[in-house]
Structures are given as C-alpha cells and as structure tokens.
Amino acid sequence: MKVYNSTLVYIEKDGKYLMLHRNKKAGDINEGKWIGVGGKFEFGESPEDCMEREVFEETGLTPMGYYYCGIVTFVSEDLDKPENNETEYMHLFNVKDFEGELKNCDEGELVWIDKDKLLSLPHWKGDELFLSIIKNGNRQFFSMKLSYVNGKLIEAVYDTVPCFITERLILRPWHMEDVEDLFKYAKDPDIGLSAGWKPHKDVEESMEVIENVFMKPGVYAIVYKETNEVIGSIGLHAGSKKSRGLGSDENQAEIGYWIAKPYWGRGLIPEAAKELVDFGFLELGLNRIWIAYFDGNHKSKRVAEKLGFTYSHFAENVVVEALGETKKEHYMVLNKDEFDEAIKLKYRPLLAQRS
C-alpha cells in the first residue's frame, strides 16, 4: 500500500482555470482526464514548496499570489490487486497571480478553460465536488475525502459531511460565496411562495438565509454541473411531527426542496432526492421518510410520486410563519419496508440471472 503527499493546483485568470489534459504519457492513471497541475512532494518540501516547484516545472509560471484551499484525501482501492491500493493526500491550491510565459508540458496539453465549463470535461468524478466549492473563491480551509474502488467513486465527504454526485448534479453544503446564485433565483416569487417563503428582496437577505437557514446539518446546495452554479436547495430533516399526524417516531425524516424556475420539468429534483432517500434508509437507518407540500403545489406532489411515495393525509390551517398565513398541507410517505421491496424488484431480474 502506498501513502504519499502531493499538490493539485488550479491557476486562475480572467474567469478561467489552466487545465492539463493528460494525453501524452503511456499508462498514466490520469490518461484522458482534465486536471490541475501538480505532483508529489520531494524530500523536505512543504506544501507551498511543492506547489511552487510543480507549477514552474509543468507550466513555466511562477506563483506570486495563491490560496491554500484544503486537503483532499484520495483513497484508491484495487480489489483485484491490493498491492496497488494507495492513499494520496492532495494539498489543493488556487493561484490567483503569477509571472512568466506559459510553456509546453510533457505530461499533456495545457488549456485555459472557463470555470463554468469545467464540469463538462472528462475528469475524476470526485473532482467535481471541490471544483464546485473553490469556484466562487471559498477561503475556508477544508478537508475532503474521496474514496474509489476499482476506479468508481463510492464516498465523497466534505468536512465530515457526506456529499452526493449524480449524473447532472452535485449536492454539497452551502457557502456564503453561493449568495449571488441564490439571490438570482430566490428573488422569483414563483419559487418561494409555493414553498412557504417570500421572494428575497436583496443580496443581504439571501446572505442571511444562507447563514441562518441553509448552513445547517442536512441541508445541501444543488449544483448544476453544466454551468457549475447553485440552482436550488434540498434537505433531509430528522425528527417527528406528531402534531401533524406523523407520529412520535424520532427515527424518521422529511425531505424538503426547491429548484430554480428555469430548471423545472427536467427531473432534477427526483435525481437529487433519490440520493437522500437512499442515504436515509441505507446509512441512517430511518424507518420512514415523508414529503410535505402545500395545497396546489402539484410539482412537488409529482416529485414524491416519482420517488415511490404514497399519499398519507393532510393537515388544515398549518401556520406558515414566513408568509404570515395558514395553508393546507399534504403529506406523502415512504416506509422502510416499501423501500426494501422496491430495491428487491429493481434487482430481481439480475438475481434471477445469477441463480
């Protein structure tokens, strides 16, 4: 088993990152992928020493201003050849200022790529998580763990928070730097009113919502890979609501969500919510998950139906504090036994073939 330290560096200029298309070295584990520049520590080097040396060797540029963003623990397990197992501690840097002239790199092709287009390129799937975080200039040092088995990402954890990466989306914690994306969409009255909150009147209000509401356990920003922007929010909130007919079992949770209007009708919320349903039942050991929606919110109802939830009941005169009014609220439920049966049905043909 190998354990080593390395640097991974994203050099920024005019809204673009300098990306290395690894297409020159035979047998390269990164062959065909687009990554930042960097490499392994040499004897006696600090993370900063290694970063500066690798940047100069691979690009000809000299970093003058940079941020040490965090450490990414990259775990690679080979089930067929355990001797190839390795743990790499990648020290992530963002270079904002540099000097020198760009040169050719013997490990691949160097290209300036728009930050908004990064996630559309072939790369390690886990890279999408930290690229969505550092895009907006997040300066809070973080620790991330990305675990792969035979090249497939099986776990992504950001500062102890499990994150999720789907075909089109990234679910990760909110940051204050997401405020511009949030205000862009949360000011639309068609978004908030149906979910029980008023449209945001300014960026300051969006900032307060991120700090006081979204930056809490179980709440995730929904990042759309194609544009690398936050387009909504989703959360898994544990606990009972006996007063609304949901019983006193604490081992249950609610999934709540909203998504920006330009992204309605694309199946993105079911794609995101499925990850939290699986996580809730398989990892948290929940007995039941419910989805609540106000009377007339047919889009939310359809999401629940697509996920296999069934109608349970409704509650009259539910107080919606943010709007200063009461509404009729409907509840749809998925129980653990129903979830287990759905899993069995999904894999039954495969099991039959194996038998």
Using H for helix, E for strand and C for coil, what is the string for the chain? Answer: CEEEEEEEEEEEECCEEEEEECCCCCCCCCCCCEECECCECCCCCCHHHHHHHHHHHHHCCEEEEEEEEEEEEEEEECCCCHHHCEEEEEEEEEEEEEECCCCCECCEEEEEEEHHHHHHCCCCCCHHHHHHHHCCCCCCCEEEEEEEECCEEEEEEECCEECEECCCEEEECCCHHHHHHHHHHHCCHHHHHHHCCCCCCCHHHHHHHHHHHHCCCCEEEEEECCCCEEEEEEEEEECCCHHHCCCCCCCEEEEEEEECHHHCCCCHHHHHHHHHHHHHHHCCCCCEEEEEEECCCHHHHHHHHHCCCEEEEEEEEEEECCCCEEEEEEEEEEEHHHHHHHHHHHHHHHHHHHC
Same domain, 236 and 113: no
295 occurs within a structural domain: yes
Choose the final residue of a domain: 119, 138, 159: 159
Q: How confident is the model at residue 243, as a pLDDT?
A: 59
Q: How confident is the model at residue 353, as a pLDDT?
A: 46
Q: Walk along the chain (355 residues) and give the pLDDT tens digit of each residue.
A: 899 999 999 999 998 999 999 877 766 677 788 999 999 999 999 999 999 999 999 999 999 999 999 999 999 999 998 888 999 999 999 999 999 999 998 888 999 999 888 888 888 899 999 998 888 766 679 999 999 999 899 999 999 999 999 999 999 999 999 999 999 999 998 888 877 888 999 999 999 999 999 999 999 999 999 989 999 999 999 876 765 677 777 789 999 999 999 999 999 999 999 999 999 999 999 999 999 999 888 899 999 999 999 999 998 888 877 778 888 999 999 999 999 988 876 654 443 443 4
Same domain, 126 and 19: yes
Same domain, 173 and 154: no
Same domain, 198 and 79: no
Same domain, 33 and 96: yes
Encode pLDDT of 116-162 as tens digits.
Answer: 888 888 888 999 999 988 887 666 799 999 999 998 999 999 999 99
24: CATH: 3.90.79.10
Choose the final residue of a domain: 116, 138, 159: 159
Q: Domain total for the chain?
A: 2
Same domain, 117 and 261: no
- As given in the structure block, the two tokens for residue 304 are 């629940």
94 occurs within a structural domain: yes
User: Dihedral angle at the C-alpha atoms of 101, 107, 109, 114, nearest 10 degrees?
Assistant: -80
Same domain, 275 and 300: yes
Choose the final residue of a domain: 130, 159, 188: 159
Same domain, 294 and 263: yes
Same domain, 219 and 319: yes
Q: How confident is the model at residue 23, as a pLDDT?
A: 79
Same domain, 117 and 245: no
Q: How confident is the model at residue 327, as a pLDDT?
A: 87
Task: Please enumerate in sequence order all residues whose Cβ is within 8 A of that of 55, keeping only pairs 6 or more positions apart, or say none.
Answer: 9, 11, 37, 38, 61, 62, 63, 95, 98
327: CATH: 3.40.630.30
Q: How confident is the model at residue 326, as a pLDDT?
A: 86
353 occurs within a structural domain: no
Residue 140 CA, distance from chain mean position: 17
Same domain, 152 and 232: no
354 occurs within a structural domain: no
Encode pLDDT of 93-115 as tens digits.
Answer: 999 999 999 999 888 899 999 98
- Name the residue range of residue 214's domain: 169-345
Q: How confident is the model at residue 39, as a pLDDT?
A: 94
Cα gap 352→22, rounded to integer Å: 42
Same domain, 12 and 45: yes
